[in-house]
Amino acid sequence: MNKEGLIKHFQGTNVDIKNILKAQEIAVKCLEHMKGFLKPGLDRDRIHEECERYMRSLGSQGWWIHDDPALILFGDLSTYSGPGLPDYRNKVIKDDDFVSIDVAPMIESGWGDLTRSFVLESGKIIDWKRTKNEEIREGMELELQLHEGFVNFVEETTTFEDLHRFTQDFLERHGYHNCDYHGNFGHTVENDAKERITIDQGVKLSIAAYDKPLTFEPHICKNGGKYGIKHEDMYVFHEGKMRKL
């Protein structure tokens, strides 16, 4: 990604691209930090506290969604999606577990938005490609294929609705379903969270013409499976192609 070209592209618009890039860098650094922090015995509150502490140490001024630093899902809660929080009572990370963390740092009106999923085996974080859990390995591989397919699918005339249909069809062909309770697969990045446009049915706006960064964050589960797999990045349509920030 040519950041200087991107900044020039959005100059004079209401897209706070400089602070979006700064906030997204905080999100990336936080999730890299959490890879070394996660361990068996931690509960949701301790993980949440560390995400907030670390992002504030990097300069985050707040949190763009529900004033909440991070959504944390693990174990049998990994498929959860809904208003509010799942029931974390008496739940801690186990020796063999699956954890996803979705962080939401903010600098002025610029957001960061990033999700990564982590696999623990025998009490250690491991590369998901090495996991003995076939469902997790297959799901993580499918997520990355889906992101690659999304980048190649979006063209000048592609609408948010077109992208939703592409993603839904991809999941159905592979025997997966969408966990998101709203049924969408991501959203635009706005100065005001209430103005987000979602990757959803019926949204006939062109992604390229709308010309703002957006997240792509399918939260997927194999039909009959137990794990909600999530991987989120932020993209922008620039120089004729979707490009990751």
Q: How confident is the model at residue 84 (pLDDT cuts 50, 70, 90)?
A: confident
**CB burial class (10 A; 0-12, 13-18, 19+) of residue 155?**
middle
Q: Please count the CA atoms within 13 angstroms of the CA of 124 that sit on its side-chain side.
A: 5
Per-residue pLDDT band for 85 (boundaries 50, 70, 90) equals: confident
Q: What is the pLDDT of residues 105-140, one digit of tens each?
A: 999 999 999 999 999 999 999 999 999 999 999 999
**What span, in angstroms and rounded, lies between the C-alpha atoms of 120 and 128?**
9
Kindly list the distances between the CA atom of residue 72 and the CA atoms of 49, 111, 212, 223, in Å, as whole numbers in the listed order: 11, 18, 27, 22
pLDDT at 209 over 70: yes
25/242 Cα distance (integer angstroms)? 19
Q: pLDDT tens-digit profile of 180-203?
A: 999 999 999 999 999 999 999 999
Residue count of the chain, please give it: 245
Q: What's the mean pLDDT in 93-98?
A: 98
pLDDT at residue 104, rounded to an integer: 98
Residue 191: φ, ψ to 5°: -70, -30
CATH for 108: 3.90.230.10
Q: What is the mean pLDDT of residues 82-109?
A: 94
pLDDT higher than threshold 80 for residue 1: no
Total tally of structural domains belonging to the chain? 1
- Asked whether 71 and 99 are in contact (CB, 8 A), the reply is no
Burial class (CB in 10 A: 0-12, 13-18, 19+), 124: exposed
Percent of the chain's residues with pLDDT above 90? 95
How many angstroms separate the CA atoms of 235 and 198, rounded?
14
pLDDT given for residue 5 in this prediction: 87
3-state secondary structure of 223: coil
Task: Kindly tell me if the per-residue pLDDT of 83 is higher than 90.
Answer: no
H helices present in 11-158, as ranges: 17-37, 44-57, 134-153
Contact 70, 64 (CB under 8 A): no
Of the candidates 235, 233, 242, the residue with the CA atom closest to the CA atom of residue 102? 233
The parent domain of residue 107 ranges over 3-244
Question: DSSP letter at 154?
Answer: -
User: Does position 3 have pLDDT exceeding 90, yes or no?
Assistant: no
Over residues 73-93, mean pLDDT: 92
Arithmetic mean of pLDDT over the chain: 96
Average pLDDT over residues 161-168: 98
Does pLDDT of 44 surpass 80? yes
Which are the contacts of 12, defined by CB distance < 8 A and separation ≥ 6? none
Average pLDDT over residues 40-69: 97
For residue 117, the model assigns a pLDDT of 97
